[in-house]
Amino acid sequence: MKHFTLTELTRSATARRLGIDNTPPDSAVAALVQLVDTVLDPLREAWGAPIYVSSGYRCPALNRSVGGAVRSQHLLGEAADVSTGSREGNRRLWQLLQELHLPVDQVINEHDFRWLHISHGARNRRQFLAIG
């Protein structure tokens, strides 16, 4: 984990505000390390500038509080929502992800590139989707 920390992958203003303990179990920590080592760090290296994590691991209580999907990969530590800080940058990051052929499960363009959901796990289907 060269460019990302466990702290930024688990921090949540919502959890803090609601008093939710968002400490990940060891299995989720291992999954977060895999996500960073195989996808996020190589992506950051290729991007050449910071990439910001808005949501990484979510415990079940936090996931419910933010309206996350019941089977969200965030629950397993297999996903992170990221942004470059701009929609145009996120659009270019989306293109870079396709060019790099990293072992992603899903990359989801959320709400016209407000952020990207990036997941990595056992399946790694390399799906590129858009919602919202």
State pLDDT tens for residues 58-105.
Answer: 999 999 999 999 999 999 999 999 999 999 999 999 999 999 999 999
CA–CA gap between residue 17 and residue 77 (Å, rounded): 21
**How big is the chain, counted in residues?**
132
Average confidence (pLDDT) over 1-8: 97
Q: Is the pLDDT assigned to residue 128 strictly greater than 90?
A: yes
Q: Is 113 part of a structural domain of the chain?
A: yes
Q: What's residue 76's pLDDT?
A: 98
Residue given tokens 């060019």 in the structure block: 99
Q: Is 1 part of a structural domain of the chain?
A: no
Q: What's residue 122's pLDDT?
A: 87
Amino acid identity, position 79: A
Q: Is 52 part of a structural domain of the chain?
A: yes
pLDDT tens-digit series, residues 6-47: 999 999 999 999 999 999 999 999 999 999 999 999 999 999
CATH number of the CATH domain containing 66: 3.30.1380.10
Q: What's residue 72's pLDDT?
A: 97
Q: Is the pLDDT assigned to residue 114 strictly greater than 90?
A: yes
Q: Is 55 part of a structural domain of the chain?
A: yes
Q: Is 93 part of a structural domain of the chain?
A: yes
First to last CA, the chain: 31
**Complete DSSP assignment for 73-130:** GGGGT-EEEEE-SSHHHHHHHHHHHHHHT---SEEEEETTTTEEEEE-SSS---EEEE
Tally of structural domains, the chain: 1
CA–CA gap between residue 124 and residue 104 (Å, rounded): 5
- For 91, the domain range is 6-131
Q: Is 25 part of a structural domain of the chain?
A: yes
Query: What confidence tier does 132 reach under pLDDT thresholds 50, 70, 90?
Result: confident
**pTM reported for the whole predicted model:** 0.95
